[in-house]
């Protein structure tokens, strides 16, 4: 007989309503702060200024991310329309989810917990990260006293800095905080300074709160890529429609596919590398950003890329590259932006209807970045994937560590956060889903992470030792040379075809999804020994 689990999801409606009805109740200090975090008391009252129409309360942030993915699994893995419980019934635990929208449940939290404990052996309370600061003190206190897991769901992101003030507050209020779990999409990578702890272990040591990983983007991409497509141009890539003979061919028209949206340090460096080495024409390349104020996509919301000096500083400081000069700058200025013609098919219907004509407000361009065209994969040999992060210090704020984590002898973390955070998004999973070999432009340890998740990579085609290079400049230059060599080589798809098929089937496997959720619930229920 399976062990049982009751999940109480306190959605936006319940927490916001209660806060509006009880603004003077006791809450944690707000998470809203500048780049360098001030003293906790400085902005303690900020939460009192929150209103219903603030970004904090956007409609699509109603419920925890992870439960949304759990709900979708039956739809993804079973074509029969027999309800959302089919997948849940296959899990190791007998699970019931209650979505709570009423402030009465917040007010009467003790009774809610009492009833849940009477009916179930295990109980988890879960809520969205952005609502965690309006969870009143009495909910935390009751959960602590009753040994009920309080799960803060930030599974769409890899950062933790926005919750450090909350963690500090909880640690100050309770003698033990192992009942609090923080759910996020980051994973540890083994590239630490000697004698240092990982960020996860450091924050556990200081605040007592467990950080739990979920491969959110793997689950998220399942939704639109297994059974049906949200655009006709992707239909041949969907798992149930996939035609191996269309994609597994030699002598394709182009060598690679390289899709870039928002400008980031590693992306502009790599596009410049492709341009310098006359490789852009060898691939299908998008770069939705411009360094010319007279062109669309100027800066794409990032001002530091707007001048020669700005880009040169990035290249020298981030990648130890002193080769960038005015001639290369002018050449890059001329070639950008790079927009694939058929990328406009769907994106012309994006949020801003004037985005292709509105040069004045080009910083407001919005895109459906999940949209792809099957021909991009059919006509290229491999993917170059410029991930969201290139360095493992993703979304760190030194000020937070300086404010909340004391200086330990010989372990001075307070000046900066540990550089050990990995983050894999749809950019990595797209080629896996679509039967494409890949080179990742990202932090070290990414390929190692994929191996642990059961995926294959392609040392038969590419020198994958870049995955173990910790120096950012050395790593990105090495990747550039790997790409250059691949563009000059005859690559035989037959050598790796079995790996490509393995990756596709493993990605979409129901067993893979079951393992993710079984491990997740085990981790959320775990306590310190």
CA distance linking residue 185 with residue 369, whole number of Å? 19
First to last CA, the chain: 26
| Domain co-membership, 493 together with 518 | no
Is residue 240 in some structural domain?
A: no
Question: Are 210 and 261 contained in the same domain?
Answer: no
Same-domain check for residues 169 and 272: no
Task: Identify whether residues 329 and 314 lie together within a single domain.
Answer: yes
- Whether residues 194 and 306 fall in one domain: no
Q: Does residue 225 belong to any structural domain of this protein?
A: no
The SS3 call for residue 324 is coil
Q: Is residue 70 part of a domain?
A: yes
Strands (E), 168-297: 180-184, 187-188, 210-213, 254-260, 283-287
pTM: 0.89
Residue 54 maps to a domain: yes
- DSSP H helical ranges for 342-388: 344-347, 374-378
Residues 6 or more apart in contact with residue 301 via CB below 8 angstroms: 262, 263, 363
Same domain, 201 and 338: no
How many independent structural domains does the chain possess?
Answer: 2
Residue 232 lies in a domain: no
Say if residue 46 is in the same domain as residue 152: yes
> Which among 419, 408, 422, 27 has a CA at the least distance from the CA of 205?
408
Residue 229 forms part of a structural domain = no
Q: How far is CA 314 from CA 100, 268, 277, 289, 428, in A?
A: 47, 9, 20, 16, 24
Verify that 314 and 443 share a domain, yes or no: yes
Residues 495 and 520 in one domain: no
Going across the sheet that includes 210-213, the strands are 94-100, 4-10, 123-128, 149-154, 180-184, 210-213
Residue-by-residue pLDDT tens, the chain, 529 positions: 789 999 999 998 899 899 889 989 999 876 544 334 444 444 434 444 545 444 444 555 788 999 999 988 988 888 765 566 889 999 999 999 999 999 999 999 999 999 999 999 999 999 999 889 889 999 999 999 999 999 999 999 998 877 888 898 999 999 999 999 999 999 988 766 677 778 888 889 889 999 999 999 999 998 889 888 777 888 999 999 999 999 999 999 999 999 998 889 999 999 999 999 999 999 999 998 889 988 877 877 677 888 999 999 999 999 999 999 999 999 999 999 998 877 655 554 443 434 444 444 444 444 556 778 999 999 999 999 999 999 887 666 666 676 677 666 656 566 667 778 899 999 999 999 999 999 999 999 999 999 999 999 999 999 999 999 999 999 999 999 999 999 999 999 999 999 999 999 999 999 999 999 999 999 999 998 7
369 by DSSP, 3-state: which? coil
CA distance 94 to 6: 8
* Structural domain harbouring 59: 4-220+514-525
CB 133 within 8 A of CB 42: no
Contact call for residues 339 and 372 (beta carbons, < 8 A): no
Same domain, 254 and 376: yes
* 408 part of a folded domain: no
Give yes or no: residues 168 and 298 share one domain. no
Q: Does 325 map to a domain? A: yes
**Same domain, yes or no: 202 and 258:** no
Q: Both tokens of residue 213?
A: 């990983």
């Amino acid at each position: 007989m399976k062990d049982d689990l009751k999940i109480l999801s306190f959605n936006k409606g319940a927490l916001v309503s209660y806060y509006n009805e009880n603004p003077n109740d006791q809450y944690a200090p707000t998470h809203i702060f500048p780049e360098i975090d001030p003293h906790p008391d400085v902005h303690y009252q900020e939460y009192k200024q929150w209103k219903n129409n603030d970004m904090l309360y956007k409609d699509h942030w109603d419920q925890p991310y992870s439960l949304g993915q759990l709900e979708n699994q039956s739809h993804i893995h079973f074509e029969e329309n027999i309800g959302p419980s089919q997948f849940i019934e296959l899990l190791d635990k007998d699970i019931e989810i209650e979505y709570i929208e009423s402030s009465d449940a917040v007010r009467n939290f003790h009774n809610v917990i009492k009833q849940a404990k009477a009916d179930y052996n295990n109980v988890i309370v879960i809520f969205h990260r952005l609502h965690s600061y309006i969870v009143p003190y009495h909910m935390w206190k009751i959960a602590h006293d009753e040994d009920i897991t309080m799960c803060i769901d930030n599974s769409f992101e890899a950062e933790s800095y926005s919750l450090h003030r909350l963690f500090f507050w909880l640690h100050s209020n309770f003698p033990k905080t192992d009942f609090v779990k923080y759910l996020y999409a980051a994973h540890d990578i083994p590239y630490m300074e000697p004698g240092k702890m990982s960020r996860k272990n450091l924050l556990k040591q200081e605040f007592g709160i467990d950080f739990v990983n979920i491969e959110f983007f793997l689950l998220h991409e399942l939704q639109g890529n297994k059974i049906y497509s949200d655009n006709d141009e992707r239909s041949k890539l969907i798992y149930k429609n996939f035609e191996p003979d269309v994609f597994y061919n030699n002598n394709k028209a182009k060598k690679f596919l390289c899709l870039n949206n928002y400008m980031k340090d590693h992306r502009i460096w790599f596009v410049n590398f492709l341009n310098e080495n006359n490789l852009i024409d060898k691939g299908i390349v998008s770069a939705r950003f411009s360094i010319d104020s007279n062109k669309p996509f100027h800066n794409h919301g990032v001002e530091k890329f707007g001048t020669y000096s700005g880009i040169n500083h990035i290249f020298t400081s981030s990648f130890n590259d002193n080769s960038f000069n005015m001639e290369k700058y002018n050449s890059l200025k001329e070639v950008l932006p790079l927009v694939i013609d058929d990328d406009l098919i769907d994106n012309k219907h994006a949020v801003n209807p004037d985005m292709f004509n509105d040069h004045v407000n080009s910083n407001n361009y919005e895109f459906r970045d999940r949209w792809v065209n099957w021909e991009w994969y059919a006509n290229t040999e491999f993917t170059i994937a410029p991930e969201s992060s290139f360095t493992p210090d993703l979304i760190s704020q030194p000020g937070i560590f300086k404010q909340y984590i004391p200086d330990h002898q010989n372990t001075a973390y307070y000046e900066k956060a540990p550089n050990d955070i990995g983050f894999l998004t749809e950019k990595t999973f797209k080629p896996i889903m679509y039967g494409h070999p890949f080179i990742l432009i990202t932090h070290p340890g990414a390929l190692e992470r994929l191996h642990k998740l059961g995926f294959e990579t392609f040392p038969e085609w590419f020198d994958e030792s870049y995955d173990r290079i910790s120096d950012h400049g050395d790593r990105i230059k090495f990747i550039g040379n790997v790409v250059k060599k691949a563009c000059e080589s005859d690559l035989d798809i037959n050598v790796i075809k079995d790996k490509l098929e393995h990756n596709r089937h493993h990605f979409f496997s129901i067993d893979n999804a079951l393992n993710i959720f079984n491990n997740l619930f085990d981790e959320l229920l775990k306590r310190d020994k």
